[in-house]
Amino acid sequence: MNLMLLFIGSVFLLLGVCMLCDYFWYLYKAEKIQGRITRVDEYQRKDRDSRVRTLYRPYFEFSMHNVRYEIKSNTSYYRKIMEEGEQVDILFIPGHEDKARLARANNPVMACLFIVLGLPALYLGVAS
């Protein structure tokens, strides 16, 4: 049994399952409301290979019960796919409006990727 592969596979699988649960939580419990992009921050980040990449992080706002919320998105993009003033769908859990997210950013792709990477590592960790 290879403990390193077992550990890595377990971490990836657990992370993927948590991300998938979060996706389904927002899919079934969240309410959808219209909001708008207030600004898009541009920032640069160095990759592991020392390449500098430009990323774009949107800020959005929406109003609920005469309270205006402005939130920094938890997702950054490699392209500027949203513009200031653009109308967007926003998902929020009632009572947790401050943790709202863009509807287009709520997808299971990364969760499935972690699960797909974790399962073979777990198998190889147990098999070796």
Mean pLDDT confidence for 27-35 = 94
pLDDT one-digit tens code per residue, 80-97:
889 999 999 999 999 999
pTM above 0.85, yes or no: no
Q: What is the DSSP letter of 48?
A: T
Phi, psi of 76 (to 5 degrees): -110, 155
Encoding tokens for residue 47? 């990759």
Answer for the pair 38, 59: CB distance below 8 angstroms, yes or no. Answer: yes
Encoding tokens for residue 119? 């399962």
Encoding tokens for residue 88? 């967007």
pLDDT one-digit tens code per residue, 87-123:
999 999 999 998 999 998 888 999 999 999 999 998 8
- At residue 24, the pLDDT reads 93
Distance CA 127, CA 26 (A): 36
| pLDDT of 59 higher than 80 | yes
Biggest distance spanned by C-alpha atoms of the chain: 60
As a dihedral over the C-alpha atoms of residue 82, residue 76, residue 48, residue 124, rounded to 10 degrees, the angle is -120
- At residue 109, the pLDDT reads 92
